[in-house]
Amino acid sequence: MRIKVFLITTVVLMSFCGLVNANTLSNWGPTGLSEIPTADVLDFGVAVAPNIGFYGEDTLVRIPITLGLGIGAEIGVTGLSLPSSSDLIPIIHAKLNVIEEKPLLPGLSIGGLFDVNNAIGGTSFYVVLSKALGNLKGHIGIGSGIYESIFGALEFKLTDNIDLLGFYKSEQFGVALNINVLSFLNATITYHEGLILQVGANISL
């Protein structure tokens, strides 16, 4: 019920705010693809991406809200609901774009998830590179915590509104399909240790 109210409120807010091109947040909050962050950062605006993951008999609900500062940085908070609790546990996240992506140069960002309640095993840090080449874009990074060891992804633009991606994180491969439903709204279906459904929306400020 709480998730329904959140989604309806989000759609209503979108109708009164300026729209921007759809940006995808990772399921954990930072701008990214499904379960991994990328070197991209949110422009000056706000994005939300409620998602629910089905892992056998357990479900994991995450509701990230991210604020793009317009200076190559973003901050936000993700409300996490664990199977053992109906409360939303806050996890703070932040990312800084150190090198902007250029025609011959990949983008480089550093960031972290700050788990003050130790809900996911403590704070996670990461460094990630991203580079586009035609309809293909690659991402590779290394981190700690939930981003332990190496992670990466390849995304392929099937059409102007549909992206197919394969990724590697937590020593597991995953696949996802991202669909830009409207200029400010997208939906992602992921399989990575379980089925994950996400709806994302963002507005300019």
Give yes or no for residue 22 having a pLDDT over 60. Answer: no
pLDDT of residue 183: 85
Buried b (16+ CB within 10 A) or exposed e, 98-136: eeebeeeebbbbbbbbebeeeebeebbebbbbbbeeeee
Dump pLDDT digits (tens) for 143-155: 999 999 999 999 9
The per-residue pLDDT for range 113-123, each reduced to its tens digit, is 999 999 999 99
Could you give all domains of the chain from N- to C-terminal order, each with its CATH number? 2-204 (2.40.160.40)
pLDDT in tens, 54-102: 998 899 999 999 999 999 999 999 999 988 777 899 999 999 999 999 9
Closest C-alpha among 168, 201, 205 to residue 182: 201
pLDDT value at residue 70:
94
What are the structure tokens assigned to 27, written together?
A: 């399921």
